[in-house]
């Protein structure tokens, strides 16, 4: 029988059993072992070694554990040094500790392109030391800078990277330099009014961004002790949102909907309503969406003076659109978030962060995962779906210095809310606004589902008892109407009791009153957009519930602001009917 015990320098081996047959076997350079060693002597020494760190002479030549546990933090990297072309600012408020997972290091030098397979690029280095995971490498492709992000260490001094732009024209043997840091982007007031891409380069043809402030896109979320927990409502001016699923200032808001139900229009209306009245800075991040929409948004912001080419702008735009490689779409949300974090942590601002579309972030992560050869999980998504989403969402938070209020459009594949991508996003949100295809087919816009949309802010201790009671009564009457629809479809309205008929009548008016003309949709509808104050919203719905609108036709409640507008419209409809 073969038994071995390691004491830190020697291994004691027995082939015959216990006490009598112990023989020391020395590995590497060690002290002379005790002679006539017995089990009684070996066991205490072995136990003692468990409480002490494994030394460089633990096994064989001692190379296996040379780095020790401390180097498991990818992060043990000194500050930005020689190789980084952009030196990150390091104010006290956003200084990263040296043992941070994402601290910067002196670059390991140049490697050579070893293999190119689409968006995946392998780089071979001559040294045993390799650039850490998430570090950025830079190479030249047809005279243009191409950024690669380290994703895997393959062995034999080869790292596998994901390209942030197209790799057409890239050849084996080309030089790739380690920057010594993650992708580093410009931040600060100089980014306002500009359009940048995932690597922080301007794409608006207005020259370079003039700033000396740069930050890496990968960083840790704020500590729990630095976060703020106060609850305050963000008034949007959109009736259905403010009444039934109010947004939290400094919270995370999700817009869920399938294709073509109005997510982007809704976000543009929120930018129009909040960003103008808000006064602070906004960051709009286009993740994997249509280039046309980004172009339209840029020109609309110029027309409304949110962006002033010669003056002070209020918004920074970050785009990684549908035509970009998966690496860019998987990281562009972090680029936009990093700009917002600077305004929050350094300038103490309350920042609005718009992300359209967070599903494309997940989708790009799935593509990258497949390119790296990872085994997919449910429905083909990456096995690290929850970690990828959590790593980003945890950084979107309110601290004692400032806040980030994020509004995220979430595409729902095949209108299935149980799909892993939207389901994973749900867990991080303070409020969810669900856009329904059934409601949009009725011509009611915004097509917000009043029964599926939720908010943790709908609490009498936060919004007040009157608001809470009105909202719950509206949801109750709409739920009762939903339950009666099958009876109406089979037997007709005549078979309902008088009380049920009244419920149906008021519910249909409430359903239409939840519609609202949008300013950004005025060119399509021909109806001037309106903002409705929260007090007017509560008073109007309360009046409809108590029967003040019973004498008005249903059409009077469609696409109006408050109850006074509905009365005016209703009187006009009734007058036209009398004439005819």
pLDDT tens digits along 258-271: 888 888 788 888 88
Token look-up 């087919």 returns 441
Q: Which of 149, 269, 289, 324 is catalytic?
A: 289
Residue 292, pLDDT score: 80
C-alpha to C-alpha distance for 385 and 500, rounded to whole angstroms: 47
Domains of the chain (ranges plus CATH)?
Answer: 3-66 (no CATH), 92-182 (2.40.10.170), 235-457 (3.40.50.300), 466-579 (1.10.1140.10)
C-alpha to C-alpha distance for 439 and 510, rounded to whole angstroms: 13
Residues 6+ apart with CB under 8 A from 81: 104, 105, 106, 107, 180
Residue 228, pLDDT score: 85
pLDDT along the chain (580 residues), means of 10: 47 46 46 42 40 37 33 36 43 42 68 94 92 95 93 94 94 94 95 94 92 94 88 91 93 88 85 74 90 83 80 89 92 96 91 91 94 89 93 91 90 89 91 93 93 94 96 96 91 89 94 92 86 94 94 93 92 88
Distances (CA, A) of 63 to 59, 67, 68: 8, 8, 10
| Strand bridging mode 247-248 / 233-234 | antiparallel
C-alpha to C-alpha distance for 461 and 143, rounded to whole angstroms: 60
Distances (CA, A) of 236 to 125, 300, 381, 531: 53, 19, 34, 8
CB 393 within 8 A of CB 355: no
The alpha carbon of 320 is separated from its chain's Cα centroid by a whole number of angstroms, namely 14
Residue whose C-alpha is closest to residue 383's, from 362, 411, 359, 358: 362
Residue 62, pLDDT score: 36
C-alpha to C-alpha distance for 566 and 529, rounded to whole angstroms: 15
Q: Which of 86, 213, 249, 263 is catalytic?
A: 263
CB 352 within 8 A of CB 339: no
Q: Which of 74, 112, 290, 456 is catalytic?
A: 290
Residue 289 among the catalytic residues: yes
The vertex-112 CA angle with 331 and 198, nearest 5°, equals 15
| Strand bridging mode 10-14 / 3-6 | antiparallel
With b for 16 or more beta-carbon neighbours within 10 A and e for fewer, the 427-466 pattern comes to: ebbbbbbbbbeebbeeebbbbbbbeebbbebbeeebbeee
Residue 568, pLDDT score: 93
CB 234 within 8 A of CB 249: yes
φ, ψ of residue 116 to 5 degrees: the values are -130, 120
Q: What is the pTM of this model?
A: 0.73
């Amino acid at each position: 029988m073969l038994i071995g015990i390691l004491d830190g320098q020697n291994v004691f081996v027995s082939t015959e059993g216990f006490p009598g047959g112990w023989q020391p076997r020395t590995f590497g350079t060690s002290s002379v072992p005790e002679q006539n060693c017995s089990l009684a002597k070996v066991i205490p020494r072995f136990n003692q070694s468990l409480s002490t760190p494994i030394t460089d002479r633990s096994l064989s030549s001692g190379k296996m554990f040379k780095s020790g546990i401390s180097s498991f933090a990818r992060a043990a990297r000194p500050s930005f040094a020689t190789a980084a072309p952009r030196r990150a600012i390091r104010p006290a408020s956003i200084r990263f500790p040296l043992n941070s997972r994402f601290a910067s290091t002196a670059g390991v030098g140049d490697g050579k392109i070893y293999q190119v397979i689409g968006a995946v690029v392998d780089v071979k280095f001559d040294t045993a030391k390799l650039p850490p995971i998430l570090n950025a490498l830079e190479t030249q492709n047809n005279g243009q800078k191409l950024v690669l992000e380290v994703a895997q260490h393959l062995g034999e001094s080869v790292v596998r990277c994901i390209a942030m732009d197209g790799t057409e024209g890239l050849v084996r043997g080309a030089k790739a330099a380690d920057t010594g840091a993650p992708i580093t982007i410009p931040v600060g007031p100089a980014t306002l009014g500009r359009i940048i891409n995932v690597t922080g380069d301007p794409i608006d043809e207005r020259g370079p961004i003039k700033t000396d402030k740069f930050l890496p896109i990968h960083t840790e979320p704020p500590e729990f002790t630095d976060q703020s927990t106060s609850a305050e409502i963000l008034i949007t001016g959109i009736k259905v949102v403010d009444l039934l699923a109010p947004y939290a200032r400094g919270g995370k808001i999700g817009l869920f909907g399938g294709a073509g139900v109005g997510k982007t229009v809704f976000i543009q209306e929120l930018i129009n309503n909040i960003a103008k009245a808000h006064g602070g800075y906004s960051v709009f991040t286009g993740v994997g969406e249509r280039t046309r929409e980004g172009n339209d948004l840029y020109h609309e912001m110029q027309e409304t003076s949110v962006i002033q080419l010669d003056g002070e702008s209020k918004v920074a735009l970050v785009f990684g659109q549908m035509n970009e490689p998966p690496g860019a779409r998987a990281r562009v949300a972090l680029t936009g978030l990093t700009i917002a974090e600077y305004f929050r942590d350094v300038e103490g601002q309350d920042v609005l962060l718009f992300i359209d579309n967070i599903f494309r972030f997940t989708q790009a992560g799935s593509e990258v995962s497949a390119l790296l050869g990872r085994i997919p999980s449910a429905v083909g998504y990456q096995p690290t779906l929850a970690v990828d989403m959590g790593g980003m969402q945890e950084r979107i938070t309110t601290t004692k210095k400032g806040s980030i209020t994020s509004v995220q459009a979430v595409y729902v594949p095949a209108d299935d809310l149980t799909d892993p991508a939207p389901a994973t996003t749900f867990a991080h949100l303070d409020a969810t606004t669900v856009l329904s295809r059934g409601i949009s087919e009725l011509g009611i816009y915004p097509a917000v589902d009043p029964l599926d949309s939720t908010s943790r802010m709908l609490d009498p201790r936060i919004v007040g008892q009157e608001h809470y009671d009105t909202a719950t009564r509206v949801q109750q009457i709409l739920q009762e109407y939903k339950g009666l629809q099958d009876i109406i479809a089979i037997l007709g309205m005549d078979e309902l009791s008088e009380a049920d008929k009244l419920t149906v009548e008021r519910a249909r008016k409430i359903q239409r009153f939840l519609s609202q003309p949008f300013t950004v949709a005025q060119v399509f509808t021909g109806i001037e957009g309106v903002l409705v104050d929260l007090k007017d919203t509560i008073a109007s719905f309360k009046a409809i519930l108590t029967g003040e609108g019973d004498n008005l036709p249903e059409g009077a409640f469609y696409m109006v602001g408050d109850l006074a507008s509905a009365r005016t419209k209703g009187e006009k409809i009734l007058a036209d009917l009398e004439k005819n």
